[in-house]
Amino acid sequence: MGQMVVDTSILLTSLISSAVVIITAPASKASYPARVLTSHLVAALTGLVLRSFLPISPWSVAAAVGFALLIVLVADRLHPPAIANAGIMFSANGSTLELIGLVAVTASILTGAAFLSRHCLLRVPTGKEPLS
In tens, the pLDDT along 91-113 reads 888 888 888 888 888 889 988 88
pTM (two decimals): 0.80
Does residue 2 fall inside a structural domain? no
Please report, as a single letter, which amino acid is at residue 52. S
Q: Domain range spanning residue 59?
A: 29-123
Residue 129 forms part of a structural domain: no
Dump pLDDT digits (tens) for 5-15.
Answer: 444 456 678 88
Exposed e or buried b for every residue in 36-71, given b needs 16+ CB within 10 A? bbbbbbbbbbbbbbbbeeeeeeeebbebbbebbbeb
The pLDDT tens digits for 45-60 are: 999 999 999 999 999 9
Tell me how many domains the chain contains.
1
Give residue 93's pLDDT. Answer: 83
